Structure 1
Amino acid sequence: MSLRQCLLILFVFFPLSAWAKFFSAPILNDAYQLLDTNPEQARSIAEQYLEQRQISPEQDPNRIHINNDSERTIRTPISTVEAFQIKALANKRLDRNRESIESIKQAIALAKDFDLKSGYLESKLIYSSLWWNLTQDVDETNTILKEISVELDEYNKQIALNQKLYFGLALIHAEVESFQGNNSQAQQYYKQAMSHGSALNDPSSMIYYHISYGKYFLKNKQFDQALTELLSAYWQSIEADRSGQLATTNYLLGQLFFQRQVLDKALEHASQSAEFYGRYNNSEQLSNVLILIAQIHLKQGRFNLALVQYFNALDQEKEKNNVDKLISLRLDIANTYFLLYNYALSEHYLKQANNLNEYVNLPEQKACASLLQAKLYLVNNKTGLAVQQIQQAIKYSKKDNDLRLKLQSQKLLSKTYEKMGQYQLALKAQREYETLNSSIQAVQNEINEDVFRQQKSIIEQSLHYQGLEQQLKENHLQTRKIQKIAGFLLVLLTLISIYAFRQQQVNRFLKKRLHLLLNKYYTHPRSGLRNFRLLTERLPSSLQQSSSNIEQWHLGELINEPLSDRLRFTLFHVPMLQELYFTHGYQEGLSIEKEFGDYLSTVVTLPSRIYHFSDASFLYIEHKSDSTSNAQEMAETVQSWINNFKSKTMTDRTVNIGMVEYPFLPRAYTAINDRELIDILLMATNTACDISTEDSGSQWVHYRAIDNAPAASFASNNIISACKQAINQGLIKVMTSKH
């Protein structure tokens, strides 16, 4: 098989997409999985997706498609681009090159229209790969890749593009450079692909990389390096359960062992690949694998088995109508029949191949046909006609620069001239054969020299490792003594660590549980704010501490006067919260009350505090020094909180507010305790509610004791009665929203 044939088969075997991709629509994922096994079905799925659904441009172009009943008739722009990508890849595998290029151009145009940067670059990358595999046009492909590189660098400043794009771009660059024979540049691109592929954390991409690199070494006859890469791909495919990539790797390993003349291993890997592709009908890959198996059988001298595989491959190719393959297979069959001495059938299939050769310009196939025709003429002692056919074969092999066919032709020409008795011409042909063979051998020697250098390095490392192994044994005996002591200490330390870790876990669990219990205990179950239980728990101790500080100041134990900054207590009642449950139901009421609680927790900032006092009442406490506002401004602040709460269900924004300050009595700081202070606050709020009943709208009431109000006026078991009496006596000033 010629180098050109090997390259074409490897391109067919190799997927055009350089990475595993996950699509926005599940059905497109299914189509993508069918590309390597049933491209016709993959194309059909993509076309049905495009035909049966309407694009919805008013939606977010990058929105991920959701497969539910409401969206089975629409497709997003991103999924449309992906469908065209799959259609292009499927058409390429079906040898519909024009349709493939048209589909990927549609994907590029659509992605550009909707400003889908990632989809646009992916489509252009696929287009460059399709164009390269179709035309082998180095200049045009490099132009496309350069445009992609510029756009990739530009877009990367705006969006976080995936490493997969850089990975695919580097691999296509490597293939182009390899085709031109620029091996150093190709290997640089493979190194770039390796760095990007490692960052992907995607087994499929790394398998693809090893396959591509192994294919590169195989093309350059660097069999040891190719074996290393392909074996890496082989085992990674098994570990990642990538059956499609495993089949591709098996085929390439079969090619490698076939070229190295390790025929049993070549047949083993080729058979494994054929077993996978044999499950699918009309598979392009299956045809190539069958041809490889036939070539292996031919080398082993099992001509009948080779014929069976050639005919199976011919059946696969007849439906595809691939002229190149049909000619090559008929020539292989004719050559096999020739080796079986069945010259009639050999000439029959050669004639079929020549009939097809008249309509195409395939120098390699024409050279093979001429060479086989010459052999048939020699069997019939038609040496003159044989010489003409051999010279035709030499002409075609020079045109295609096929050294293998040229070498065979010169050798056969020398024997033919010798048979004709023209020894001078036979000697001339023999010398040309030896010159050509020596040049080929020189290349092979150079390859063998590189292999020998690598083997020398491996042997030196092996000898070095043997010395290290002996030294390791000696060190191992010495460390055994330490290991016994260390083992006991390690077990003891492990037990202590386990016990300590267990205790730590138990303590952490208990602390977490205690925190949760305290949080639930001191949190209102509906609004999520601090509850009245926390207020009654903390307020007495706080006021008691304040009273103690006042006494110390009076006794001269403190330099600065405490409580020079008063506290303002504001209790506001929102009637609408009670009516929510009756008008909107329990579930809706819970939801609104929780939203209201979350809202209040955002508007109140430290060191101020807010508590959920009762069902519809909230207590707000702040340092009066933090706010120089008077009572009316405070009431307006609370009203603004209620007004700014965004809720369509809270139609009534009425709020009743009661306000007092602590210390309540300026000259008697300790006369009013926490419970009495709350009673005064409730009395003020109740008064505001009564005013609101008479006059609709929000109301507020502020109680403030005069500076000379005596503590004796409040020395009563009923603080509410005492306050009412103090109000009548003028000891407490009452400010309301009405006066």
Structure 2
Amino acid sequence: MVVFLWILYMSFRQCLLFIFVFFPLSAWAKFFSAPILNDAYQLLDTKPAQSLRIVNQYLEQRQISPGQNPNQIPINNDSERTIRTPISTVEAFQIKALANKRLNKNREAIEAIKEAISLAKDFQLKSGYLESKLIYAYLWWNLTKDVDETNSILAIIEQELLETGNTIGIHDKLYFGFALIHAEVESEQGNNSKAQKYYKQAMTHGAKLKDPSSLIFYHISYGRHFLKNKQFDQALTELLSAYWQSIEADQSGQLARANFLLGELFFQRKVLDKALEHASQSAEFYGRYNNSEQLSNVLTLIAQIHLKQGRFNLALVQYFNALDQEKEKNNVNKLISLRLDIANTYFLLYNYALSEHYLKQANNLNEYVKLPKQKARAALLQAKLNLINNKPDLAINDIQTAIVYSKKDNDKPLKLQSQKLLSETYEKMGLFEAALKAQREYETLNSSIQAVQNEINEEVFRQQKSIIEQSLHYQGLEAQLKENHLQTLKIQKIAGFLVALLTIISIYAFRKQQVNRFLKKRLHLLLNKYYTHPRSGLRNLRLLTERLPSSLQQSSSNIEQWHLGELINEPLSDRLRFTLFHIPMLQELYLTHGYQEGLSIEKAFGDYLSSVVTSPSRIYHFSDASFLYIEHKSDSTCSVQEMAETVQSWINNFDSNILTDKTVNIGMVEYPFLPRAYTAINDRELIDILLMATNAAQHLSEELSSSQWVNYRAIDNAPAASFASNNIRLACEQAINQGLIKVITSRN
């Protein structure tokens, strides 16, 4: 049964050659200069007769306009509906040739394409000329199978392509079609290495076209090449590529072709359910067009699948449907083949009368044609019927006839089947020697076929080995990819956590910085308030108490280093003069003028003093009515009297209608107080001495009713021991009495 189905397959394989592998125009999406030609081109595969009618009307109803630019595309208006340009004329004849070929009008097809070549040459349409030559080359090959002449035509086309270079816009399209035709010729001759070389060239140019239809057609052609050579794995790869790409590109016609070849592939691999699925999908498309040439082929394939499944009645239905399709086309080869298929199916159904009926019809047609294959099939079936009718002698003659015709057609499977039947027939007749001879011939032929099959199986095994190795490699890569993916996810999580943490830290740091800035600003304000007198705005006694000790200590240290010779220059800027002036009227200001007025005057007075005192001198609000002025003393510094006059001028220059009493009591001392004992008097003791001087000035002012000043100054040789007492005031009084401290006043 397998051999028989293989015979059926070979019977219509040649009929599909043109439909599936016609490259120059079908291998890519072509756009024509006239819209009506686009419509005709789209109907080629489904309704070739209608396509031919459209093209003929276009050529008959319009006149060619040679005066126009040959490459000009006509504008769609009323004035252009009666003429056709040279380029559209060439395209029309190309479509006409294709339509005639699909309608089995081979002579008309050759004449049409020659007319296209002639016109393109006359009008110097290089791309149209080369396209037409490619179509002619394939038509010639398809009709004659003349390898030498076809290669000669292709060689001329190749030379012309080389001469044009890249000067024409469809350079890659032409090379794509050229390579596919060459591949088909080499494939038909069994030159598989050369065929694959041209297929690779076609793929190189097809990839540049960026056209899904071209790549789909390439995969269909390449898959069919592998299918013909029984390289099922490669065929499956290419045909599945065409199948899915057709779905993605919404190419229903190419999808139907891919489905048909996939059905044929699965049929040969005996995967009948998948074969029927793909063949049915293909039939669904072609069933919309009753006159479609491909429909009968699809129906025949479905019938073969049903026959293989043992559903003979369903097979008969499909065979009769295919026969109805072919009756209108008058294709003798297919008509004979289908009648033989029907006769064989009836034979399997034990309906020998109908089997003989359809065999007789096939033989009647066989008398008028030279088709060795069909004659061999008919003779073999006749032999089987003769054996059923117990006519072994006639059966022997028919079998030998089948063997002769199968040799002429070089159909080894059919010859093998004939030899097997011949051996069995001789054995039934008791002619064992003849049966043994026939059996040996059968085994010899079967061995040669098996050797070829083993070679194919060996190649398939090698390919499967390669596929398994790649699969294992891919599995390893997949496992590694999963591991890398997990590592990537882990790293992403860690990175995400770090980014989140960094974001939180950044927000916290920014917030902390803002808070620190706010607190620093607030601290600065608090310090200003803390070290500022609340009424006058001057530095207060708190700041003086905090900073004076360290300042005096540093000053004493610098002067001591100078005396010890550790400093070259005398640190004159470290000698300080302390001036404490007391304004009596400020004490009575709040009592006499009230709190609000007192605050206003005291604040204004504080601002005034701040403006008249220049850096590096400092002034402090010592107590309610007392102010301490500190300046660096040097040789250029004014005398104590001048200092007192300066303070008095400050008071006098203060413009106020309320502070009318300008009396001021001033006490002054210098630091270091003891010239030879720099650290004997500390800051607190120095303030006490200054208060004593200011108090003395106040007593003088009360006596004399005027501003007074008093300056206490220790003599150069004043011993530090005289001041070594817990009561500095008492020690100062004793030193004054002993003459150790000079008292200089404004009165003397």
The answer to whether the superposition gives a TM-score over 0.5 is yes
Is residue 266–residue 272 contact of structure 2 (8 Å, CA) maintained in 1? yes
Is residue 25–residue 66 contact of structure 1 (8 Å, CA) maintained in 2? no
Is residue 24–residue 65 contact of structure 1 (8 Å, CA) maintained in 2? yes
Partner residue in 2 for 1:184? 193
1:286 and 2:292 correspond? no
Structure 1 distance, partners of 2:498, 2:49, is 67
Mean alpha-carbon deviation: is it higher for 435-444 or for 94-103? 435-444
1:10 and 2:16 correspond? yes
Q: CA RMSD, aligned part only?
A: 1.8
Partner residue in 2 for 1:59? 68
Q: Deviations over 1:437-484 (max 9, x none)?
A: 111111111111111112222222333344444444444444333202
Partner residue in 1 for 2:147? 138
Partner residue in 1 for 2:286? 277
- State the shift of 1:42 in Å: 0.5
Match of 1:422 among 419, 422, 431: 431
1:362 and 2:371 correspond? yes
Match of 2:20, as an amino acid? Answer: F
Distance 1:174 1:432, change over 3 A: same
Structure 1 distance, partners of 2:83, 2:278, is 45
Match of 1:101 among 110, 113, 116: 110
- State the shift of 1:228 in Å: 0.3
Match of 1:400 among 403, 409, 422: 409
Match of 1:318 among 311, 315, 327: 327
Is residue 279–residue 298 contact of structure 2 (8 Å, CA) maintained in 1? yes
Match of 1:452 among 458, 461, 484: 461
Partner residue in 2 for 1:200? 209
Match of 1:151 among 160, 167, 180: 160
- State the shift of 1:435 in Å: 1.2
- State the shift of 1:277 in Å: 0.3
Match of 1:287, as an amino acid? Answer: S
Q: What fraction of aligned residue pairs are identical, expressed as a percent?
A: 81
Match of 1:370, as an amino acid? Answer: A
Distance 1:58 1:301, change over 3 A: same
Matches within 5 A, 1:512-531: none
1:72 and 2:78 correspond? no
Q: Deviations over 1:71-129 (max 9, x none)?
A: 11111000000000000000000000000000000000000010000000001111111
Q: Secondary structure of the residue that 1:279 maps to in structure 2?
A: coil
Mean alpha-carbon deviation: is it higher for 152-161 or for 232-241? 152-161
Is residue 247–residue 273 contact of structure 1 (8 Å, CA) maintained in 2? yes
Is residue 386–residue 394 contact of structure 2 (8 Å, CA) maintained in 1? yes
Partner residue in 1 for 2:356? 347
Partner residue in 1 for 2:635? none
Partner residue in 1 for 2:440? 431
Match of 2:422 among 413, 428, 432: 413
Partner residue in 1 for 2:516? none
Structure 1 distance, partners of 2:114, 2:203, is 29
Structure 2 distance, partners of 1:493, 1:63, is 68
Match of 1:46 among 55, 62, 72: 55
Partner residue in 2 for 1:35? 44
Structure 2 distance, partners of 1:231, 1:46, is 35
1:110 and 2:111 correspond? no
Distance 1:99 1:489, change over 3 A: farther
Distance 1:481 1:83, change over 3 A: same
Partner residue in 1 for 2:550? none
- State the shift of 1:160 in Å: 4.5
Structure 1 distance, partners of 2:145, 2:318, is 30
Match of 1:387 among 390, 396, 417: 396
Partner residue in 1 for 2:233? 224
Is residue 12–residue 285 contact of structure 1 (8 Å, CA) maintained in 2? no
Distance 1:132 1:488, change over 3 A: farther
Match of 2:178 among 169, 188, 195: 169
1:264 and 2:273 correspond? yes
Gaps of 5+ in 1: 495-739
Q: What is the TM-score normalised by the length of structure 1?
A: 0.65
Structure 2 distance, partners of 1:103, 1:11, is 20
Match of 1:175, as an amino acid? Answer: E
Q: Deviations over 1:507-542 (max 9, x none)?
A: xxxxxxxxxxxxxxxxxxxxxxxxxxxxxxxxxxxx
Match of 1:256, as an amino acid? Answer: L
Distance 1:138 1:487, change over 3 A: farther
Match of 1:155, as an amino acid? Answer: T
Is residue 336–residue 374 contact of structure 2 (8 Å, CA) maintained in 1? yes
Is residue 12–residue 297 contact of structure 2 (8 Å, CA) maintained in 1? no
Structure 1 distance, partners of 2:265, 2:179, is 25
Partner residue in 2 for 1:527? none
Structure 2 distance, partners of 1:120, 1:461, is 46
Match of 2:216, as an amino acid? Answer: I
Q: Secondary structure of the residue that 1:360 maps to in structure 2?
A: coil
Distance 1:387 1:487, change over 3 A: same
Structure 2 distance, partners of 1:337, 1:240, is 43
Q: Secondary structure of the residue that 2:460 maps to in structure 1?
A: helix
Match of 1:173, as an amino acid? Answer: H
Q: What is the TM-score normalised by the length of structure 2?
A: 0.64
Match of 2:408, as an amino acid? Answer: K
- Aligned residue pair count: 494
Q: Deviations over 1:312-359 (max 9, x none)?
A: 011111111111111111111000000000000000000110011001
Gaps of 5+ in 2: 1-5, 504-748
Q: Secondary structure of the residue that 1:265 maps to in structure 2?
A: helix
Matches within 5 A, 1:295-694: 295-487=304-496
Q: Deviations over 1:174-212 (max 9, x none)?
A: 011111111111111000000000000000000010001
- State the shift of 1:486 in Å: 3.3
Structure 2 distance, partners of 1:235, 1:359, is 45
Match of 1:14, as an amino acid? Answer: F
Structure 2 distance, partners of 1:196, 1:462, is 30
Structure 2 distance, partners of 1:395, 1:151, is 46
Structure 1 distance, partners of 2:502, 2:154, is 61
Higher relative CO (Cα under 8 Å, sequence separation at least 6) belongs to: 2
Q: Deviations over 1:9-64 (max 9, x none)?
A: 33143152332211000110010000000000000000000000111111111001
- State the shift of 1:135 in Å: 0.9
